[in-house]
Structures are given as C-alpha cells and as structure tokens.
C-alpha cells in the first residue's frame, strides 16, 4: 500500500494533465465514462504541499475484497492529488492500543474509531460536522443508531460509515430436524430466547451444539451478551448515567435460563472462544448456530458452497423486554496531531461521495450496515434473501452504556469485559445471582467514581 | 589549514589522559540510554499513577487514590493471585525439569552439541510465536490433544483448556513452564560442568552411591546457580505479557489476568493510563524484593 511519494506526485500531475488534454481534444463525455465526476473532483482539489502523505489506520476486514477496494480507492485519490497514501489494517483487539499510541504520539492522520472511542478522544479529533451533515443529508438522513452514537455533544468528530452486521447464522436442515417452523426461510422465523435455546438443546443432542464466544474478545462476546442483558430488562446504568440497573430480578431469571441453555445447547468450551473460533467451528460443521457477522456466510459461499446453501440468518432472539442489538457506528476520524489535516479532510470528503462509498458498501453485500437510510432500499439487499435479516438490525440498535451515553465509563466497563465476564462467571460457577451481583458491584465501582 | 595539528592533537590527548574525563565520556552513552529508556519512563510512570490521566488528556494529581482504589478491586485481587501462581508455582517445576534436562545433557553422548542447541528452542523462539503454537494446541474445538484422546476413546468432549477456571490457569502455567525449562536446563548444565570431576571420583572411592554423590556433591555445587536462575525466572515471569495476551487476553472472567495484561487492558484499552500505571507499579516492590535478594546473593558469592 505504501506508495512512493514521488511516483504518486508524478502520476497525479499526469492524470490532471491527461484530463485537460482530453477535454481540449473535445473528447465526448461518454468516452470518459463514469470517471468524469471523480476526475472533476480531482481537478478541483486543492494542490497539497509537495510530499504530503496520509496514513490511515483501520481494523482489518473480514470481507477481504472490501479491504482491497479501500486500498485501491485511497491509492487512486492519492495519485490524482499527489498525496502518498498508506493504510494499516489491524486485528480488532489491537486497534485501540494503536489508536491510543497515535493519539498520544502521532503516526496516523485518519483512524477508524470503534464506538465510544469518538467520545474518549473527543479532545483529539478534528471536527468534521459539516462534512458529516452533508453526507447524512445526501443519504436521506442517518439511521437512528448512527445518530445516537456518532456524535459527541451534538458534533460529528468523525465520518460515520456504519457498523459490521451481526446476527444468528444457523444450519437450515439441523434447525428443521429440531422442529423449527419455517427454518428454510430465516426471514419468516421469529424466536424468543427460550425457543432458541430449545432448538439448540435438540441440535446438541444430535451432536450439533450452538457455539458462542464468551472470552475476552471485542466483537462476538459483547455482541451477544449486551443484547441478552437488555432483552431481560437490565442495563448497565439508568439514563442519569449513575444509577446501576444491572441486578434486576428479570435478568437473574434470564441468566438462570442462560446457564441452563449453555449446558443444554452450547459447546461449553465457548468460555475461551474469541471472535474467530465460531467462524472456524461453523465452517467445519461443528456447530449449528452462532452469533456472528455475515462473514461466515461469505466464507462459506466462497469455500464451502454446500454449507452456504444450508445456512440462513435470523434476527437475534427476543426476550421479555424486547429485541435488541448492540449497534453503534464506527467513524473515520482525523487526529488533531496530524500534519495533513486539509488533505485528510479532502480525502474523506471524496471517499464519502456516493460513487466511492457506494462501491465500497455494495461490494460487502450487506456486511456493513447502512449508516444512512438511502441504502435500506438499495438493490444490494435484495440480491440475496439470506442477507435480508441484517437489513432490519438498525431498528433495534442500542449503545454500550445504554441508557446512558457510550462515554468513558461505558468504555471502561466494556474494556474490562464486565458484562461478558458476568456471563462467563455465571456458566462457570452456575450461580446466576452471584454472577450478576459481581457484575453490578464492578459497574458500581466504575459509575460511582 | 591554519590550525597547527600538533597543538590540537596534544590538547585532545591531554583531555583524554585525565581519567576523570575519559570516564565521563565512556559512561555518557550508557547513561543517556539509561536515562532515556529506563529512568524517564519509570518516573513518568510514577507520576502518571498519581494522576487520573487518560490517553490524550493530561490528568489532575489525585495522590494515592488509584492505588487505594485497586485494593478494593476484586479483579485486581484475582490478577495479583494469578501473577503469584504464574510466577512462583511454576518455578519448582521449571527447576526440577531443568535439572533433569541438565543431568541428561551432561552425559557424554553423540550429537550432544546439536541436541543442546535444540533443547534451547523454547527459550530462543520469540514468545509471541511459540504462544501461537500453544494457542493452536489449546484450541477449544480443534486441539490435537483433545483429538488424540477422543480417538483413543478416553474422553467424549473437547478439553476446555483455556475456558475452565482451573484448566485455564494450569494451561498458561504449563506453557510458561515449557518456555522456562531450557533456561534452567542450560544454566544448571553450566553449573554441573563446573563441578570438578575429582570430587566425584573421591566420593566414589569413599564408597558413595550414585544418589549420595548427587545429593552431597552435585546439589551443593549447583545450589547457587539454581537460586540465581530461579530469581531471574521469577522476575521475568512476573513481568510477562505476551504469552497470556496471545492465549487468553486475561479471560475467561479474568482467571488468567496477570499484572502485565491487566495493565494493558486498563491503561491502553480503557485508556485509563493513570490507573494502568498504578497497576504495573504494584509489581515494583515485589520485583524489588526479588532483585535485592538476587543482588545480596551475588555479593555474597563474590
């Protein structure tokens, strides 16, 4: 990805000159094809100081073509504008430490922030409010989950590009055998947690348990545990951001069912799984259902078509208090300590144009949830009915720290895996009440400070 | 050139001839390195631990509040307990296995040099790499160990190496022992080779059995080496990070957190760098005790 600055510069000049030459020669717009708007933008772009470079830090993609396209797009813009672009893609759990280092000591201009980090680093991020508002307006408005999580104190400190999807993938035939009605079409299946565990019990009895990560990992464990907690009437904290609302009788009851369900329905080694164990276990036919992004389905389509054919998705089950997802937007933010803020802004502005963003979003075929409502009706969603359940996810999204904000306290609670560890403790110790009391005590320590 | 080279070289020599000047010059690079990479971060760490600093935000001085807070933090208690188990309980195993290894290696056999080099592997290979190997061996679903026992019909479900409270800490300790044995082995081997052959021969002539010779000749001669190796091993293991981070990240439910990983989680992931510094500084007095013991012992030897 690292490009030699000089080459980029030369190419940038060339492409602009080419464009002018082409224009002078009176070549028809048709001949320019879809490139014209990009080139116009490039031609209008301000010339950046010689030797300008942009370094971008992102989480690695589970859908590899998306990462390749992003690199290509960045390269394209860099060459057109004489900016040397480089991009680093990091494992999710390692991303935050690297961002912290960049905030503290520099090194990256644009960083991909996971939910909550925009709040944590609010003093270190460049305000991109107008650019983001324009993106939202162009897209017919932001989805609600983006609105509640993308802004800090009413201002956009990063450009929201959505969040990767996550729901229940399952094996159609094994679910059918277990008596799940309409199993062949996940869009018609609407389960409660009790019903889901009951199916799991039958599947496990036949040697196909469910699989779920409960280890210290940043994606699937919280993606499963927080919604389960919310669905059982508990949350970390009330709206006042102070009163702990974790130890609720309904949640204790729900946790009892979870302990039971874990024994009956799940592969019990899940206590040490990370974000990738369930992918591997599902793709090697060890488990019949798991909470995950559509990356499992993508990998199956590519490598194991017979598994893909037998796979569908359902919405996360609902509990007595309703159905919820942990869903917040990620943002591309510019660090204040960047020496290339104008170039970084121009790049983001360019990348969030319909062409670039749309290409990137569509290529991932629904893996990234739409940040703006326009894409809800995008034909991409209709290409594969098995992806349709994900489209509904944004309706049920809540943030970490709900009903409070995803602020530094919520971030501390999630970094310490308090909610996830409550579940792990419950299944290890077998005592729902004790585990929840431990979690409540830990949350109190955080929110009382 | 207008400067007379003879005058210049004379003055330079004069300068370096003074022992005091030369001493300072020779010490300077080392001192600069120590100050920049040891002293400065250490004192910065102490300062941070006394503040409520977050990454990207300089905090206020809050005295010892971070340290006091940690005293009532059950995760911290668990972390301290895990670290003690991880660093101390593993030492006798490392020492015993290392001694066995050294005794075997000390025998004259063919290819002894390549074999000695090979047994150093766990110690030489970067921990990050060997930990990945253990990560695969302990895999909850695809562990070769589980596979083996399952195919022998001894177990019916996979062993939960890193997910069960007792197994998790045992598994990381086991990987730690595996990594540490060669160090003990080679250190003790060096000690063994320093034992004069005459002592053994004299004891044998006096009618001492193999066990007696081992007990009364070998053991006393390598006692010092074992002690030094143990202290070094404790100090290194106390400050470990990589092995745990790769295997469990402190999970499940903090059952394998040690000071290093908990510091990372709080200081860098939760961005509470002040609190993170306080966690790691709790290691300091403990390590200081072991380091002092080590120094006292080395002094005495001299």
Q: What are the extents of the domains in chain B?
A: 1-49, 64-301
Q: Is B164 close to A123, i.e. CB distance below 8 A?
A: no
Task: Please report the pLDDT score of residue B2 as a whole number.
Answer: 53
- pLDDT for the residue B7: 54
Segment among A367-371, B132-136, B153-157 with least mean pLDDT: B153-157
The pLDDT assigned to A31 comes to 39
Q: How far apart are the C-alpha atoms of B10 and A79, rounded to whole Å? A: 59
- What pLDDT does A47 receive? 65
Cβ–Cβ gap A269/B254 under 8 Å: no
Residue of A217, A416, A449 with shortest CB distance to B270: A416
Q: How many CB contacts within 8 angstroms connect chain A with chain B?
A: 118
Do A5-162+330-370 and A167-327+389-447 have matching folds? yes
Direct distance between the N- and C-terminal alpha carbons of chain A, in angstroms, rounded to an integer: 44
Burial of B15 from C-beta contacts in 10 A (0-12 / 13-18 / 19+): exposed
Which chain A residues contact residue B72 at CB under 8 A?
A: 445
Under DSSP, the state recorded for B3 is: S
Residues of A in contact with B163 (CB under 8 A): 214-215, 268-273
What architecture is domain A167-327+389-447? 3-Layer(aba) Sandwich (3.40)
Nearest CA in chain A to B56: A104
Q: Cβ distance B124 to B207 under 8 Å?
A: no
Q: CB atoms < 10 A from the CB of A202, how many?
A: 18
- From chain A, the residues in CB contact with B270 under 8 A are 411-412, 415-416
Which of A271, A290, A334 to probe the B interface (max B CBs under 10 A)?
Answer: A271
| pLDDT band per the 50, 70, 90 thresholds, residue B199 | confident
Check residue A46 and give its pLDDT.
56
pLDDT at B260 over 70: yes
Quote the strand ranges of A188-267, DSSP E.
Answer: 210-211, 235-237, 244-245
CATH architecture of A5-162+330-370: 3-Layer(aba) Sandwich (3.40)
**pLDDT at residue number B9:** 56
Q: What are phi and psi of B167, to 5 degrees?
A: -65, -35
A273 burial (CB, 10 Å; 0-12 / 13-18 / 19+) is buried
pLDDT of residue B297: 86
Query: How far apart are the C-alpha atoms of A346 and B291, rounded to whole Å?
Result: 55
Quote the minimal CA–CA distance from B285 to chain A in Å.
25
Q: Which residues of A touch B (CB under 8 A)?
A: 93, 96-97, 100, 103-104, 120-121, 123-124, 214-217, 267-274, 277, 280-281, 284, 286, 408, 411-412, 415-417, 421, 424-425, 428, 438, 441-442, 445, 449
Q: What is the ipTM of this complex?
A: 0.84
User: Comparing C-alpha atoms, which of B196, B237, B238 is closest to residue B217?
Assistant: B196
β-strand partners of A313: A169
Q: Do B141 and A441 touch (CB under 8 A)?
A: no
Closest partner residue to A100 (CB to CB) among B162, B250, B268 is B268
Three-state DSSP state, B280: helix
In this predicted structure, what is the pLDDT of residue A1? 40
Report the pLDDT averaged over residues B16-30. Answer: 88
**Considering only CB atoms, which chain A residues are within 8 Å of B250?**
216
pLDDT for A262 equals 97
Q: What angle do CA A211, A213, A216 make, to 5 degrees?
A: 170
Task: Nearest chain A residue to B74 by CA: give it.
Answer: A442
Quick check: A416 and B252 CB within 8 A? no
Which residues have a Cβ under 8 Å from the Cβ of B34 and sit 6 or more positions away? Answer: none
- Residue B38, C-beta contacts closer than 8 angstroms, at least 6 positions apart: none
Give B49-76 pLDDT, tens digit per residue.
Answer: 999 998 878 889 999 999 999 999 999 9
Nearest CA in chain A to B140: A269
Beta-carbon neighbour count of residue B175 at 10 Å?
25
- Stretches in chain A below the pLDDT threshold 50: 1-40, 42-43, 45
Q: Which CATH code for domain B64-301?
A: 1.10.3720.10
Q: Which residues of B touch A (CB under 8 A)?
A: 54-57, 69, 72-75, 138-142, 157-158, 160-165, 168, 248-254, 264-266, 268-272
**Domain residues of chain A, as ranges?**
5-162+330-370, 167-327+389-447
Looking at every residue in chain B, the average pLDDT score rounds to 90
Q: Which residue has the higher pLDDT, A424 or B209?
A: A424
The gap from C-alpha A252 to its chain's centroid, in whole angstroms, comes to: 29
Confidence check: pLDDT of B3 > 80: no
What does DSSP assign to residue A62?
S
């Amino acid at each position: 990805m690292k490009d030699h600055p000089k080459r980029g510069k030369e190419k940038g000049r060339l492409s602009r000159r080419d464009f002018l030459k082409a224009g002078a020669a009176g070549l028809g717009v048709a001949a320019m094809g879809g490139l014209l708007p990009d080139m116009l933008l490039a031609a209008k772009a301000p010339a950046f100081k010689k030797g300008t470079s942009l370094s971008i830090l992102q989480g690695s993609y589970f859908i590899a073509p998306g990462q390749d396209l992003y690199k290509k797009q960045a390269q394209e813009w860099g060459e057109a504008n004489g900016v040397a672009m480089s991009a680093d893609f990091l494992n999710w759990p390692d991303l935050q430490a690297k961002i912290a280092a960049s905030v503290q000591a520099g090194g990256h201009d644009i960083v991909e922030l996971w939910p909550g980090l925009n709040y944590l680093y609010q003093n270190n991020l460049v305000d991109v409010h107008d650019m983001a508002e324009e993106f939202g307006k162009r897209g017919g408005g932001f989805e609600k989950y983006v609105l509640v999580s993308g802004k800090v104190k009413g201002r956009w400190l990063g450009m929201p590009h959505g969040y990767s999807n996550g729901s229940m993938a399952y094996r159609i035939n094994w679910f059918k055998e277990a008596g799940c009605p309409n199993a062949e079409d996940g869009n018609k299946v609407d389960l409660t947690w009790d019903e889901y565990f009951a199916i799991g019990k039958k599947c496990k009895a036949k040697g196909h348990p469910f699989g779920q990560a409960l280890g210290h990992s940043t994606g699937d464990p919280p993606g499963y545990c927080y919604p389960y907690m919310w669905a059982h009437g508990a949350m970390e904290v009330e709206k006042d951001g102070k009163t702990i609302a974790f130890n609720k009788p309904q949640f204790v009851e729900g946790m009892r069912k979870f302990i039971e369900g874990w024994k009956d329905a799940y592969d019990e080694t899940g206590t040490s799984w990370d974000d990738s164990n369930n992918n591997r276990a599902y793709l090697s036919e060890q488990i019949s259902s798991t909470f995950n992004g559509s990356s499992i389905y993508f990998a199956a389509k590519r490598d194991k078509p017979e598994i893909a054919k037998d796979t569908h998705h359902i919405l996360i089950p609902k509990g007595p208090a309703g159905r919820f997802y942990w869903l917040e937007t990620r943002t591309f933010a510019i660090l204040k300590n960047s020496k290339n803020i104008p170039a970084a802004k121009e790049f983001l502005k360019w990348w969030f144009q319909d062409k670039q963003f749309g290409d990137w979003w569509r290529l991932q075929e629904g893996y990234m949830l739409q940040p703006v409502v326009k894409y809800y009706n995008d034909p991409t969603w209709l290409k594969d009915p098995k992806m349709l359940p994900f489209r509904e996810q944004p309706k049920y999204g809540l943030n970490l720290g709900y009903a409070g904000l995803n602020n530094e306290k919520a971030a501390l609670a999630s970094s310490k895996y308090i909610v996830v560890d409550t579940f792990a403790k419950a299944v290890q110790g077998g005592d729902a009440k004790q585990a929840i009391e431990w979690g409540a005590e830990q949350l109190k320590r955080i929110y009382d400070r | 050139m207008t400067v007379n080279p003879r005058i210049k070289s004379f003055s330079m020599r004069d300068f370096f001839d003074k022992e005091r000047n030369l001493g300072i010059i020779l010490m300077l690079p080392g001192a600069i390195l120590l100050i920049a990479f040891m002293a400065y971060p250490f004192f910065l760490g102490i300062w941070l631990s006394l503040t409520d600093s977050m990454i990207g935000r300089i905090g206020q001085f809050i005295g010892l509040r971070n340290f006091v807070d940690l005293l009532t933090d059950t995760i911290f208690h668990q972390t301290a307990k895990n670290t003690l188990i991880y660093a101390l309980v593993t030492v006798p195993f490392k020492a015993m296995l290392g001694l066995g290894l050294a005794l075997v290696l000390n025998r004259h056999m063919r290819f002894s040099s390549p074999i000695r080099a090979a047994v150093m592997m766990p110690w030489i290979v970067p921990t990050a790499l060997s930990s990945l190997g253990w990560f695969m061996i302990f895999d909850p679903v695809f562990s070769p160990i589980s596979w083996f026992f399952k195919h022998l019909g001894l177990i019916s479900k996979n062993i939960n190496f890193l997910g069960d409270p007792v197994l998790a800490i045992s598994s990381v300790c086991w990987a730690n022992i595996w990594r540490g044995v060669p160090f003990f082995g080679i250190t003790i081997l060096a000690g063994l080779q320093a034992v004069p052959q005459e002592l053994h021969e004299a004891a044998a002539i006096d009618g001492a059995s193999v066990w007696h010779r081992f007990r009364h000749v070998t053991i006393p001669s390598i006692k010092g080496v074992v002690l030094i190796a143990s202290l070094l091993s404790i100090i290194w293991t106390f400050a470990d990070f990589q092995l745990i981070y790769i295997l469990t990240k402190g999970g499940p439910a903090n059952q394998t957190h040690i000071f290093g990983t908990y510091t990372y989680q709080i200081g860098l992931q939760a961005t509470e760098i002040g609190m993170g510094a306080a966690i790691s500084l709790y290691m300091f007095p403990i390590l200081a005790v072991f380091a002092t013991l080590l120094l006292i012992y080395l002094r005495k030897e001299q």
